[in-house]
Structure 1
Amino acid sequence: MKLPSHEFLDHQGIPYEPVTFPTSIEKGAASVARALGQPERRMVKTILFQTGSGSCVAVLLGGDQNAISGHLKKAVGSRDVRMAAPEIVLATTGYEIGSIPPFHWQPPGFATYVEASLLDEPVLGVGAGMWGHEILIQPTHLVQAARARIVNLTDRARPVVEE
């Protein structure tokens, strides 16, 4: 099955591997990781946050990671940052929470941030847009496809953006 996320990557000439897992498994990155035999870190969560101005940004984190609030606020340039409500996520991405692809739906200028430590992984899994479908992709290709900015959101000892 070719999904819009696959068509986007094909059109961009970005290599990837489409994989599937049973739709009956529990939702979440940990479940997908177990089903695909991967560490949870490699299963990327695409999370939408809304700023005080009402604009949304996408943040890509490993399945076992959480963003440090101060780092996230600094990265997006807003002191008022909160997770977007499910209806905002759907209206913004066209996808329901659970299998949001980190690319192809963003309008020009949409800000996407990827956690820097994910670039150390050999491969990452991202939602393909439909539960039961995942895309395995190299980190550099993910950054390219998502037009993402690389930022440190998880290590308090390091700055948000490396100099």
Structure 2
Amino acid sequence: MNRPRYPITQAIRFLRDRRVKFHTFMYTYTERGGARQAAMELNIPEHRVVKTLVMETDAQSPLLVLMHGDQVVSTRTLARVIGAKKVFPVRPERALNCTGYQVGGISPFGTRQNMPVYVQTTILDMETIYINGGKRGFIVAVDPAVLVRILPAIPVSVAASSG
């Protein structure tokens, strides 16, 4: 039996358990390289790379936000949409504690804690997305419909231009 040439992370186990079709890609992880680094190395548009961001409400409730690689989350809009006073990014230690993944390798699949997942609506219009597979330098390509079907992610419109 041939061994896969990619890491078997909790995210991969999660996808396999749910019989989700995916393709794997490895790239050279660089600190603060983010979606741009992955997109450049894999020769794909940064817009199709989906970031998994761990945030928290003012009531200290963690949540995940899935956003295009070339956009940022309007935390003010997100707070209004979910009925919170404020929403803000968590510290790396809190992200690890909530997800089981290091910053730069956070996947929405197979997280340690069950928490709400919000997805930018325009991500669902894409044919294929590239999202972290649970390890730095490791991405999986999936049909974005799986986000709603297996997470289940809640569509929101909270994108802002990154620059």
**TM-score by shorter chain over 0.5:** yes
Check if 1:58 corresponds to 2:64. Answer: yes
Check if 1:150 corresponds to 2:150. Answer: no
Partner residue in 1 for 2:82 = 76
Query: Structure 1 unaligned runs (5+)?
Result: 156-163
Distance verdict in 2 for CA 1:78–1:98, change over 3 Å: same
Cα shift readout 1:10-42 (whole Å, capped 9, x = no counterpart): 110111111112346862100101111111011
Partner residue in 1 for 2:103 = 97
Report if the CA contact (8 A) 2:100-2:112 is conserved: no
Give the letter aligned to residue 117 of structure 1: T
Give the letter aligned to residue 143 of structure 2: Q
Question: SS at 1:95's partner residue?
Answer: coil
Deviation at 1:132, TM superposition (A): 1.9
| Farther off after superposition, 131-140 or 69-78 | 69-78
Question: SS at 1:47's partner residue?
Answer: strand
Q: Give the one of 108, 117, 120 matched to 1:115.
A: 120
Give the letter aligned to residue 46 of structure 1: T
The number of equivalent residue pairs is 154
Query: Structure 2 unaligned runs (5+)?
Result: 1-6
Deviation at 1:105, TM superposition (A): 1.1
Question: SS at 1:71's partner residue?
Answer: helix
CA RMSD of aligned residues (A): 1.8
Partner residue in 2 for 1:160 = none
Cα distance between partner residues in 1 of 2:28 and 2:20: 26
Partner residue in 1 for 2:134 = 129
Of Structure 1 and Structure 2, the greater strand share is in: 2
Cα distance between partner residues in 1 of 2:112 and 2:120: 18
Check if 1:48 corresponds to 2:54. Answer: yes
Identical pairs, percent: 28
Q: Structure 1 runs of 4+ off > 2 angstroms? A: 22-27, 142-146
Matches within 5 A, 1:16-55: 16-23=22-29, 27-55=33-61
Cα distance between partner residues in 1 of 2:30 and 2:58: 37
Partner residue in 1 for 2:3 = none
Q: Give the one of 132, 138, 143 matched to 2:143.
A: 138
Cα shift readout 1:90-122 (whole Å, capped 9, x = no counterpart): 1111111101011211544x2100000111211
